[in-house]
Amino acid sequence: MNHKPQTETTISGVAEAALYVADLARAVAFYHEVLGLPITMQFADAAFLQTGAQSTLILFDREALRTRTSTIPGHGAEGPMHVALAIAPEQMAAWRARLQAHGVAIEHEQTWPAGTHSLYFRDPDGHSLELIDGSHYPKLWMKIGTTSS
């Protein structure tokens, strides 16, 4: 299989990720107040939070989606999901302290083969969140050997 991207069909990044939550207000408070993500739009059944220059995290009220009619195809998921958020390497200690100050338990700390570090914790709905040293992210997978060129 050829893994070299075609220039006319190159994907430039992940535009959005979605998580489904039991209590939208509680989830928005966590992502906005604890993680500091700016709220870009909010509706009765969903909230959009900016996670980077070109990416958005959408929080959907799980129950509201079950009865919602929309022209957009359903794309819900059941159970806990995982999202990794990139941070600057020099901010790892400050993030650890911030999470602890908000009473967020750190489940695991990982040092990857390329020297990249990750912190794992849960949001109020049990979703697994990871803060990863984003500057070394491509090197991480090259070092582990899960990508090919």
Q: How confident is the model at residue 19 (pLDDT cuts 50, 70, 90)?
A: very high
24 is a domain residue: yes
Per-residue pLDDT of 30-63, as tens digits, reads 999 999 999 999 999 999 999 988 899 999 998 8
Vertex 16, ends 53 and 60: CA angle to 5°? Answer: 125
pLDDT value at residue 78: 78
CB 19 within 8 A of CB 60: yes
13 is a domain residue: yes
C-alpha atoms less than 13 angstroms from C-alpha of 97 in its C-beta half-sphere: 5
Both tokens of residue 10?
């190159």
What's the number of domains the chain is made of? 1
pLDDT value at residue 48: 97
**Section 87-96 average pLDDT:** 93
Strand partners, 132: 86, 118
Q: Give the per-residue SS3 of 95-127.
A: HHHHHHHCCCCEEEEEECCCCCEEEEEECCCCC
pLDDT value at residue 144: 56
93 is a domain residue: yes
Question: What range defines the domain where residue 128 resides?
Answer: 7-144
Give the pTM.
0.82
pLDDT value at residue 32: 98
pLDDT value at residue 104: 98
92 is a domain residue: yes
Mean predicted lDDT score pLDDT of the chain: 85
2 is a domain residue: no
78 is a domain residue: yes
CATH of the domain at 39: 3.10.180.10
Query: How far is it, in rounded angstroms, from Cα 57 to Cα 48?
Result: 6
Helix, strand or coil, per DSSP, at residue 71:
coil
CB 28 within 8 A of CB 42: yes
DSSP state of 75: -
Residue 25: count of CB within 10 angstroms of its CB: 11
Task: Pick 139 or 134 by higher pLDDT.
Answer: 134
DSSP state of 37: P
Both tokens of residue 130?
């990871």
83 is a domain residue: yes
Strand partners, 118: 110, 132
149 is a domain residue: no
Q: How confident is the model at residue 134 (pLDDT cuts 50, 70, 90)?
A: confident
